[in-house]
Amino acid sequence: MKKIFLLTLIICFFIACSNDKQGNKDENTSSNIEASLEQGEDLNFDIHLINGTSILVEKNNKKITFDTDKATLFVFFTTWCTPCLAEIPSLNNLQNKYKDEVNIIGVLLEDKGDEDIKAFKDKHKIIYEIANGENNYLLAKSLGGVNGIPTMFLYDKYSKLVNEYLGLIPQEMLEIDIQKAIF
């Protein structure tokens, strides 16, 4: 029984949802963003959170900065992704434990209204913030692209990349890197 559980855990660890369910709108947005980024221009844009606030993202040359005084974990997800749903309790635990030092931001990669996302957040008891809007795709491209979900990027408070993750990551592993990011 332990072998089956361990095998299941290992498989879940390496599995991530693909972005195949994105529609034509996402592909068009992605193409426009890619064209912008390939031109090498400096970018400044806001990531809009469903709580009404935003995070300013500045990309100059190859350096990216965020207007936050905390470490930030960007979690790219969709509402239909099973591993994305499975990681919610771990992300909630980390948000509770490190609320003074870390921002956990769920970055939605599908076309949904804020009210739908608020209902999703309530249903799944998500306590971290969620970003919604077209600029989420621009953020994904600015960070180097998202090839599967869930994908996470952890930055320290100085906007230095600490680690990048693909798939379902154990809470303990994330916590080790969060501790590196806040010290």
* pLDDT higher at 51 or 41: 51
Q: Where are the alpha helices (DSSP H) in 18-134?
A: 24-38, 82-86, 88-97, 114-123
How far is Cα 12 from Cα 83, in angstroms, rounded to an integer? 7
pLDDT for 132 beyond 90 = yes
Q: Does residue 10 belong to any structural domain of this protein?
A: no
Q: Does residue 161 belong to any structural domain of this protein?
A: yes
* Residue in 4, 9, 15, 17 with CA at minimum distance from that of residue 170: 9
Are 150 and 168 contacting, i.e. CB atoms less than 8 angstroms apart? yes
How far is Cα 173 from Cα 93, in angstroms, rounded to an integer? 13
Are 57 and 142 contacting, i.e. CB atoms less than 8 angstroms apart? yes
Lowest mean pLDDT among 21-25, 102-106, 108-112: 21-25
Say how many residues make up the chain: 183
* pLDDT higher at 111 or 27: 111
Q: Does residue 5 belong to any structural domain of this protein?
A: no
Q: Which domain holds residue 145?
A: 16-182
Mean of pLDDT values over 126-151: 94
Beta bridge partners of 43: 59
**pLDDT of res. 172:** 96
Q: What is the pLDDT of residues 85-98, one digit of tens each?
A: 999 999 999 999 99
Q: Does residue 2 belong to any structural domain of this protein?
A: no
Q: What is the pLDDT of residues 140-180, one digit of tens each?
A: 998 989 999 999 999 999 889 999 999 999 999 999 999 99
Q: Does residue 9 belong to any structural domain of this protein?
A: no
Q: Does residue 11 belong to any structural domain of this protein?
A: no
* pLDDT higher at 71 or 20: 71
Q: Does residue 70 belong to any structural domain of this protein?
A: yes
Are 140 and 107 contacting, i.e. CB atoms less than 8 angstroms apart? yes
Name the band, by pLDDT with cuts 50, 70 and 90, for residue 11.
very low
pLDDT for 27 beyond 60 = no
Q: What is the CATH number of the domain that holds 101?
A: 3.40.30.10
Q: Could you give the number of structural domains in the chain? A: 1
Q: Does residue 1 belong to any structural domain of this protein?
A: no
**How does the average pLDDT of the chain come out, rounded?**
82
Are 158 and 145 contacting, i.e. CB atoms less than 8 angstroms apart? no
